[in-house]
Amino acid sequence: MLSLIVFWPALVAAVLLCVPARVPPKVFVGAWIAASLVDLVLIGVVWVGLPAGGGYGFEERVVWIPTAGISYHVGVDGLSLPLLALTGVLFTACAVFAWRETRRVKAYVTLFLALQAVSLGLFVALDLILFFVFFDLSIVFMYFVIAGWGHGAAARGAALRFFLYTFLGSLALLLGFILLFLAAVPHTFDIPELVAANPLAGGGLYSGLTLLAIGVGLAVKTPSVPFHTWLPPAHTEAPATGSAVLAGVLLKMGTYGFVRIAMPLLPATWRDYAMVVVIVGVVSVVYGALVALAQTDLKRMIAYTSINHMGYVLLGVGAAGLVAGSDEQARQLATTGAVTQMVSHGLITGALFLLAGVLHDRGGTYDMGAYSGLAARVPRFAGLFVIAAFASLGLPGFSGFIAEFQIFTGALGAAPVPTAVAVTGIVVTAGLFLLAVQRLLLGPLRVPDAPGTPRPFPDVRVSEALAVVPLLVLVVVLGVVPRVLLDVIEPASRTLVDLVSR
Amino acid sequence: MLWLLVGVPLLGGAGLVVAALVTRRTDRWATASGLVVAAVTLAMGIAAAVLRPATGAPLLAGIGFGLGVDGLSAVMLVTVAVAVLAVLVFAAGEAELRTARFVGLVLVFAGAMLVTVTATGLLPLLMAWEVMGATSWALIAYHFRDPAAVGAAHTAFLTTRTADLGLYLAAGAALAGGVGSLALADLPAARGAWLHLLVAGVVVAALGKSAQLPFSFWLSGAMRGPSPVSALLHSATMVAAGAYVLLRLAPLLGTSGWAGPLVAWVGAATALVLGLVAVAQTDLKQLLAASTCAQIGYMVLAAGVGGTAAGTVALVAHAATKGLLFLAAGAWLAALGTRQLDGLRGAARRFPVVGVTFTVGALSLAGVPPLSLWIGKDAVLAAALDASPALYGVGLVAAAVAGLYSGVALWYVWQAVPDDAPVAGRVSAPMRPPLIGLAVLAAVLGLLPQLGGGLALDPAPAASELVVSGVVAVAAVALAWRLGERMPRPAPLRGWVGLERAAHATVVAPVLALASALARFDDRVLARGADDTALATVRLARTLDRRVEFSVDGAVRAVAAGARVLGRWARRPQTGQLHQYYAQTSVGFALLAALALLVIVVR
């Protein structure tokens, strides 16, 4: 079942490769939309069939390279299923958004389908090497998306920077995986086996270095300060769909790595260095928010808020490791909040980046100074943007609040000062989103003119609305009836909290 | 029942807002449907006040979303519902407010306030609290083309949200202190230092929402919003929410020891200082706004000294009074196009219905017997006297100040109509019923404590106190009437004692400066550092290519060249001529023989 979910987009991509490029672009995009919807249905089936008591469901294991302890092992639990669903939803939204794409559509669609397959694969992988393969392939495919469909010559530079930086991070990750492999007897890369064996339960230097390697590798992808500088240019130059996938799915691979690998496989060391994680998280929160506040480019601003939001995740998972200062409920809240934040940020930031794409499509620039008073000209765009902005600043009623409230509440007892500092982040994000809303939407009307003639500036089109609105609807649903999601996450986060504290 | 009560305005309002985005045609039936929703809400509010239902749903791990109605929230429910209905009826008289966006936002705002007053835990309280803040942003910035209104909305939202951080910290502190459910009733059981953090957080959040010192400035800008919005914000919602939370959590303030006196003194100081600010205003809405801070100060004072019933009576009486006054100011603004006191000379004579109802409201605000705020204020003062005579003294002085600002406003509107007065518009029909209804309520709500229940005053104000405060109020109004426009207006008071400028200088400017400094650091140091590392790698590669690679390559080349030379030499003897081979062989044998001889000799 999971293999079908993962390889179905790849299969469709392979079939599309055989179709001549002369065929109308809508055929390719239509196939992509259909393929994504099929995948979503399959994910829905998995969601319904997930074992209630925690543990992995839909496991598949096939011998791959037995001499090196590597197998093709996939499965889902409450930590990975929400992200699997998020990936399915975001790619579907991107497929719908791409309906009007005209540039080399065949290559575009096949590339995205391949990216979709590896992203889905990463979240179901239960083998370190399988995880690593998907991790690296996602970097490769995203490189081509940015370089091939970005905004001009700068895109290739940004893509190269993105590739080299994250690829270097993945090498650190591989080093950490090999260290784990060597520590386990018998040697294996299988995650559940490593969890059960807990080879580095004693902590120590070796274990510390392993966590350092894995942590740096994941921190680059997350990204957390100071490993974040690849993110803003990559976002600024990427096409809207690329940005949405980059922020919505690829960043989650980093944070997901913490809850899937770093925490359960290195529990003793995680507890020892939890405060470091908390502090890195808080620095990311405050630094990301403040730098975002100073941006004038819409996409750069959203990119820095991603750093801020991922900082909350680190705060949550770090606090889950501070066993001494908190009770079980607090640590569980922090962990659940961190996973909720991953889903929530994916949906909200995906919507924001797609809306930024709508703006760029009309005005040709992301510079907020070039626009003003759009609420009068394009009220639907304005309404959607305001909703997404308020969701992103953590307003109750939207999913971001559910995530951040859990993280703050759970983390305060164990790390009072860092949490108190991190809470200020929500005021700064409120300020910067209000500023963005004011610059873009309010005041007297101004739009950038094309040379000679006034630029037509139509409101959100149907295909764009069909991409963005479902994301925001989900954000509201998760904000109002979060039990839908929390019922899935909580058993898994309880297991994780137990694993970390053993 | 409760779900319906809060769900109908929330969902109805949200539906209208979304409908406004989809099509403009919804505006035609927006007002009507809004009135229906508000009426249904009022009916359900009254029913809930009688039946006292309670309900809840699980939300987070161990933390539920609980709603319930007790004596305090029953009163608040009805007050909120009445205020919303009055405001929506009034707004039906203003063409630019007959939109789905306006009606929808008002309903969401009201729904959030209803959740706030029925919340039985910190989580639903915080959620509703923040939604209310965000909705107030959208309402204040209703005229989004006006930069001043937008700026004021930003100030309001950011100020209250900054204070809201207190509630986030309070929630964490409650959990850390052992109150895992975050239920309001259990909060005083929090352990150790967490209790103090919890109390501090709640107090800061409540003071921010209630626009008490030092947060008062946001309410000044909020006057940029439409008048019905001001009426709603200042009467039963938003600012009242802060006072409500303090009243609700008065037992918690008591357990901490320090919070009660602190809150009481902040309330008393606000009542006095912002009262003086109100006296100095030249704009009617600004005067009313500052007076709101001052009046809320009494409720906060009541919460600080544990006078929950007294604070509630003051809250309800003030809600009716202030809702009425803002609606009257809005009616004049619509008819005369001004809210400057100077421009409103004679306004009461030109629009008698508005004039008379405004007078009732202003006299109630002044605390003139037998109107509602006379009782409300004295109830608070009686509780204050029980705690500390000093507090009572400050409160009494503030009562005199209330007489002054009310009297000034009355003096202006009852002046003779100036000869050069501009042609007036008209006060539309829907504006009148809310004015009259609220005027009646503002007059009689002082009788609330007679209904008994949770509102029975303890301690009840003594007859002498009632007389003293009544005399003070009447005297102050009379003095204001005498002074009229000669009322002294010191510049610092006119500018709300510089609070907004101070907040800008101490918080906003440093944060913005830090933000741009960090952005430069990010571009010039962190990003460039990564780039420089990459470039250095490329440079190293080039150097290796030029130096090391060249040398290694050179060595390999030299070996190859040497081999070639040797090969050339090895070819020399291969001549193909037999006699030369014989000669070579003989030389070879000679050498071998010599070598053998040498070996033997050396052995």
Strand, helix or coil for residue A53: coil
User: Are A329 and B62 a contacting pair at CB < 8 A?
Assistant: yes
* Dist CA A270 CA A260 (whole Å): 13
Considering only CB atoms, A330 lies closest to which of B134, B157, B176, namely B176
Give tens-digit pLDDT for A94-111: 999 999 888 899 999 999
Q: Would you say B311 and B535 are in contact if contact means Cβ atoms under 8 Å apart?
A: no
- What sign does the CA torsion over B471, B473, B476, B477 have? negative
Q: Which of A12-21, B240-249, B270-279, B571-580 has the lowest mean pLDDT?
A: B571-580
Is the minimum CB–CB distance between B162 and chain A shorter than 8 Å? yes
Return the residue matching tokens 């009562």. B399
Asked if residue A167 has pLDDT above 70, the reply is yes
Give me the pLDDT at residue B165, please.
94
Q: Which positions in chain A touch B126 (Cβ < 8 Å)?
A: 396, 405
Give me the pLDDT at residue B55, please.
92
Q: Which positions in chain B touch A373 (Cβ < 8 Å)?
A: 145
Asked if residue B373 has pLDDT above 70, the reply is yes
Q: In B, residues 419-448, which contact A (CB 8 Å cutoff)?
A: none
Q: Which positions in chain B touch A376 (Cβ < 8 Å)?
A: 145
- Which range in A294-298, A453-457, B504-508 is most confidently predicted, on average pLDDT? A294-298
* Dist CA B250 CA B308 (whole Å): 7
The whole-angstrom distance between A241's CA and the closest CA on chain B is: 24
Q: Which positions in chain A touch B168 (Cβ < 8 Å)?
A: 405, 408-409, 423, 426
Q: Which positions in chain A touch B531 (Cβ < 8 Å)?
A: 161
User: Are A405 and B22 a contacting pair at CB < 8 A?
Assistant: no
User: Are A401 and B58 a contacting pair at CB < 8 A?
Assistant: no
Is the minimum CB–CB distance between B516 and chain A shorter than 8 Å? yes
User: Are B526 and A229 a contacting pair at CB < 8 A?
Assistant: yes
Give tens-digit pLDDT for A246-255: 999 999 999 9
Q: Which positions in chain B touch A490 (Cβ < 8 Å)?
A: 61
Alpha helices (runs of H) in B367-462, residue ranges in sequence order: 372-387, 389-413, 432-444
Asked if residue B192 has pLDDT above 90, the reply is no
Task: Tell me which of A412, A440, A477 to substitute to probe the interface with B (most B C-beta atoms closer than 10 Å).
Answer: A412
Q: Which positions in chain B touch A390 (Cβ < 8 Å)?
A: 134
Give me the pLDDT at residue A206, please.
93
Give tens-digit pLDDT for B234-279: 888 889 999 999 999 998 998 988 999 999 999 999 999 999 999 9
Q: Which helix (H) or strand (E) holds B113?
A: helix B100-118
Asked if residue B422 has pLDDT above 90, the reply is no
Asked if residue B284 has pLDDT above 70, the reply is yes
Counted across chains A and B, CB pairs separated by less than 8 A come out at 152
* Dist CA B223 CA B149 (whole Å): 8
Considering only CB atoms, B176 lies closest to which of A401, A413, A427, namely A413
What are the phi and psi torsion angles at B119 (to 5°)?
A: -60, 135
Closest A-chain CA to B124: A396
Q: Which of A218-222, A301-305, B115-119, B416-420 has the lowest mean pLDDT?
A: B416-420
For residues B423 and A195, the model is more confident at A195
- The string of DSSP letters for B139-193 reads HHTTSTT-HHHHHHHHHHHHHHHHHHHHHHHHHHHHHHTT-TT-BGGGGGG--HH
Q: Which positions in chain A touch B173 (Cβ < 8 Å)?
A: 412
Give me the pLDDT at residue A136, please.
95
The whole-angstrom distance between B129's CA and the closest CA on chain A is: 9
Is the minimum CB–CB distance between B22 and chain A shorter than 8 Å? yes
Considering only CB atoms, B158 lies closest to which of A411, A427, A443, namely A427
Asked if residue B452 has pLDDT above 70, the reply is no
Give tens-digit pLDDT for B40-82: 999 999 999 999 999 999 999 889 999 999 888 999 999 999 9
User: Are A329 and B134 a contacting pair at CB < 8 A?
Assistant: no
Give me the pLDDT at residue A389, please.
96
The whole-angstrom distance between B230's CA and the closest CA on chain A is: 21
Q: Would you say B226 and B219 are in contact if contact means Cβ atoms under 8 Å apart?
A: no
Q: Which positions in chain A touch B511 (Cβ < 8 Å)?
A: 290, 293, 428, 431
* Dist CA B143 CA B156 (whole Å): 15
For residues B394 and B424, the model is more confident at B394
pLDDT (mean) for B371-377: 91
Q: Which of A122-136, A342-356, B515-529 has the lowest mean pLDDT?
A: B515-529
Asked if residue A452 has pLDDT above 70, the reply is no
pLDDT (mean) for A239-245: 94
* Dist CA A475 CA A440 (whole Å): 23
User: Are A226 and B21 a contacting pair at CB < 8 A?
Assistant: no
Give tens-digit pLDDT for A390-430: 999 999 999 999 999 999 999 998 999 999 999 999 999 99
Q: In B, residues 170-189, which contact A (CB 8 Å cutoff)?
A: 171-173, 175-176, 180
* Residues linked to residue A62 through DSSP beta bridges, in sequence order: A72
* pLDDT-derived band at A70, boundaries 50, 70, 90: very high
The whole-angstrom distance between B44's CA and the closest CA on chain A is: 22
Asked if residue B588 has pLDDT above 70, the reply is yes
Asked if residue B491 has pLDDT above 90, the reply is no
Residue B251: exposure state from Cβ atoms within 10 A (0-12, 13-18, ≥19): middle
User: Are B165 and A375 a contacting pair at CB < 8 A?
Assistant: no
User: Are A293 and B512 a contacting pair at CB < 8 A?
Assistant: yes
Task: Tell me which of B60, B105, B198 to substitute to probe the interface with A (most A C-beta atoms closer than 10 Å).
Answer: B60
Torsion of CA B432, B436, B437, B443, to 10 degrees: 160
Task: Tell me which of B18, B21, B194 to substitute to probe the interface with A (most A C-beta atoms closer than 10 Å).
Answer: B21
Is the minimum CB–CB distance between B60 and chain A shorter than 8 Å? yes
User: Which ipTM value was assigned to this complex?
Assistant: 0.92
User: Are A333 and B60 a contacting pair at CB < 8 A?
Assistant: yes
Task: Tell me which of A405, A472, A495 to substitute to probe the interface with B (most B C-beta atoms closer than 10 Å).
Answer: A405
Return the residue matching tokens 């104000």. B461
Is the minimum CB–CB distance between B514 and chain A shorter than 8 Å? yes
* pLDDT-derived band at B364, boundaries 50, 70, 90: very high
* Dist CA A428 CA A165 (whole Å): 28
User: Are B60 and A164 a contacting pair at CB < 8 A?
Assistant: no
pLDDT (mean) for B397-420: 91
User: Are B145 and A427 a contacting pair at CB < 8 A?
Assistant: no
Give me the pLDDT at residue B453, please.
63
User: Are B176 and A434 a contacting pair at CB < 8 A?
Assistant: no
- What sign does the CA torsion over B427, B432, B434, B436 have? positive
User: Are A229 and B522 a contacting pair at CB < 8 A?
Assistant: yes
Task: Tell me which of B168, B516, B535 to substitute to probe the interface with A (most A C-beta atoms closer than 10 Å).
Answer: B168
Q: CA–CA distance from A298 to each of A98, A138, A236, A289, A447 (Å)?
A: 21, 25, 9, 14, 15
